[in-house]
Structure 1
Amino acid sequence: MRHAFAIPPVLRLGLLAAVVLLAAGCGEAGETPAPPTAATIPTGAPPANRPVPATPDPLVATPPAGTTVLPVERVDAGALPAGLPTLVWTRGDRTLGVYGRAGGCTDARLEVVEQGAERVVLRVVQFTTGPGPCTRELLYPPLEVTLDAPLDRRPVVLTGQVP
């Protein structure tokens, strides 16, 4: 007499094979798994198939080699759009630099808007380079301008323009 819940022989054989395979893959009962090896521990480094960013992270950025950070009390970044870095550096007494924001179908440039006796005003411009399709990478290229006269004690005002 067959029961209502009887399992056909073919299905029983498949279930038995699955149990054997699972048991073989799990190791001995009570066995602890092997500790992770150096190859499986995340290091924070990008995978080998991904490019390393050419510019530093602007949120923790340092200026390029051979430059000096302008003290934050001499920088007014209040008119700078959100997401644009506020770090300003000098290279010598007449060159100023900042990090722009670019990538995909955008690029960046730095313009001198004003260089009067009281202050220097710079504008970081992010502009579209083409209609697409665009990739999603985000780069922070270093941008520099040369002033007509040494910066001396003048403050720097950063403004910006993004599409």
Structure 2
Amino acid sequence: MTINVGDKIPLATLNTLKDGVQAVTTDELFKGRKVVLFSVPGAFTPTCSAKHLPGYVEKMEEFKARGIDVACMSVNDAFVMDAWARQQGVPDGLTMLADGNGAFAEALGLKFDASAFGMGERAKRFALYAEDGVVTVLQVEAPGEFRVSSAEAMLAAIG
């Protein structure tokens, strides 16, 4: 079942790379905070690298000014997410999260099968905004599209 506005973010563990692979729970990420989490189907993929992540890098100061933390998630490992962050010039404060086995994407009900493209199970392209772990905005892209999960779209949706 897909997560909806009003639902609490499910408990899951993701990874980041800081002095080695570090586990971080969704409670640590969302509890008592305002957070935009956006998900990309894959690090280093065309739309993700040319538009999705760069848009959030460009708009980070606008999110910070509103007291909103930003995190990027993909079904990749922490090493890939870290390499992609370095290649994209991701600033401090934009957390890069690895959902290596897709367990969090599955818990959200936002997993899809990209086996036809040689990518296996992945997370859909989406963005959500949560306050204290409760989803208040959810924008899920239609297959092959990039409109509603952009940084600009999320800033507008949050208001």
TM-score (norm 1): 0.26
TM-score (norm 2): 0.27
The structure that is helix-richer by fraction is: 2
| Rg larger for | 1
